[in-house]
């Protein structure tokens, strides 16, 4: 089999994508597949499309805009090119955090209280019970444009900062407690991971600097919460029409599970969360990539 790996691009997550792409490419090679690397300079495959069509399968290793929001998926579908993971529609929905929260709420799933704003004229008296807020772009990943504020006066500054990354900004009630992520692969929910950032919040640097976070897998949250959070993750995956794999982010506060967001193209470097959990489940990085390819071909 001949596989094209797409990575890079010019989203805010292009550096992470390069690492995912190179790791996936290595894995494909060691699985005996022929590989071609497509390191994109921009968020476009206009120059690559004819070459991409010659492959049996394309592995999207992009994160963020273009690669994860359904735009690239749509182009590949129009050209009958097989690729990994969710289709254009599910990808688009999942990249819209407030949309996912609405879907979750309609199904009885708890998510932090929130508002969506498109400018900083945030004069409404926000009536959350918490005195801390999380301000983040509605459609981005890797915690870019993310700020926690504990003083309402700083809200406009934080909104302006997030508006640099997206036209819609999510103002969320801050939820303390444990940071949990749940990977889903095919019909299986893989071991749950607890993330413990060494200082402050799970922001971009805690995510990508070695040693800035600790991980517990399987998370030490007891059997009841483990099965509840796994069940909730799977429901969200299904409600949004996700295929093959995804990773769902949560907080657990006072034994209550809060849904934060779902990622359709989670990080895939050898040290990323999804491969860490797959490893506990008995799948090497190579096995995981092969599983994703095989499940995606059957879509």
User: How far, in Å, CA of 117 to CA of 65, rounded?
Assistant: 20
60 beta partners: 6
User: How far, in Å, CA of 175 to CA of 178, rounded?
Assistant: 9
Residue from 13, 68, 87, 179 touching ligand ADP (CB under 6 A): that is: 179
Sequence length of the chain is 299
User: How far, in Å, CA of 111 to CA of 260, rounded?
Assistant: 6
Question: To the nearest whole angstrom, how small is the minimum distance from the Cβ of residue 230 to Mg ion?
Answer: 17
User: How far, in Å, CA of 282 to CA of 285, rounded?
Assistant: 10
Size of the site for ligand ADP (CB under 6 A): 17
Stretch that binds ligand ADP, among 8-16, 100-108, 142-150, 283-291 (CB under 6 A): 142-150
CB 60 within 8 A of CB 72: yes
**Interface residues for Mg ion in 244-273 (CB under 5 A)?**
249
By C-beta, is 89 or 201 nearer to ligand ADP? 201
User: How far, in Å, CA of 268 to CA of 289, rounded?
Assistant: 9
User: How far, in Å, CA of 264 to CA of 172, rounded?
Assistant: 22
CB 104 within 8 A of CB 111: yes
64 contacts ligand ADP (rule: CB under 6 A): no
By C-beta, is 48 or 113 nearer to ligand ADP? 113
201 contacts ligand ADP (rule: CB under 6 A): yes
Residue 175 binds which entry of Mg ion, ligand ADP, none, CB below 5-8 Å type-dependent: ligand ADP
By C-beta, is 3 or 175 nearer to ligand ADP? 175
Question: To the nearest whole angstrom, how small is the minimum distance from the Cβ of residue 51 to ligand ADP?
Answer: 31
User: How far, in Å, CA of 153 to CA of 53, rounded?
Assistant: 53
By C-beta, is 49 or 110 nearer to ligand ADP? 110
Given the rule CB under 5 A, which residues bind Mg ion?
249
Given the rule CB under 6 A, which residues bind ligand ADP?
112, 134, 136, 141-143, 146, 172, 174-175, 179, 201-202, 249, 251, 260-261
């Amino acid at each position: 089999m001949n596989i094209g790996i797409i990575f890079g691009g010019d989203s805010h997550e292009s550096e992470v994508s390069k690492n995912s792409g190179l790791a996936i490419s290595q894995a494909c090679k060691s699985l005996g597949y022929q590989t071609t690397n497509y390191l994109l300079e921009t968020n476009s495959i206009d120059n690559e499309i004819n070459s991409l069509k010659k492959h049996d399968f394309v592995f999207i290793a992009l994160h963020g805009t273009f690669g994860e929001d359904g735009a690239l998926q749509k182009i590949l579908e129009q050209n009958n090119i097989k690729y990994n993971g969710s289709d254009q529609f599910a990808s688009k929905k999942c990249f819209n955090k407030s949309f996912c929260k609405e879907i979750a709420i309609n199904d009885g799933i708890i998510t932090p209280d929130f508002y969506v704003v498109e400018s900083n004229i945030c004069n409404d008296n926000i009536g959350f019970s918490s005195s801390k807020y999380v301000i983040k772009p509605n459609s981005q990943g890797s915690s870019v444009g993310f700020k926690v504020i504990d003083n309402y006066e700083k809200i406009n500054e934080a909104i302006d900062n997030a508006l640099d990354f997206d036209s819609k900004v999510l103002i969320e009630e801050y939820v303390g407690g444990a940071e949990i992520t749940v990977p889903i692969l095919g019909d299986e929910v893989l071991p749950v991971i607890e993330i413990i950032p060494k200082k402050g919040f799970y922001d971009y640097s805690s995510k990508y600097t070695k040693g800035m976070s600790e991980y517990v897998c399987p998370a030490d949250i007891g059997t009841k919460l483990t099965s509840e959070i796994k069940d909730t993750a799977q429901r969200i995956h299904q409600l949004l029409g996700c295929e093959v794999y995804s990773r769902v982010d949560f907080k657990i506060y006072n034994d209550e599970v809060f849904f934060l967001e779902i990622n359709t193209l989670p990080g895939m470097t050898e040290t990323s969360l999804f491969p860490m959990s797959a490893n506990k489940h008995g799948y090497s990085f190579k096995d995981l990539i092969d599983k994703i390819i095989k499940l995606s071909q059957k879509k």
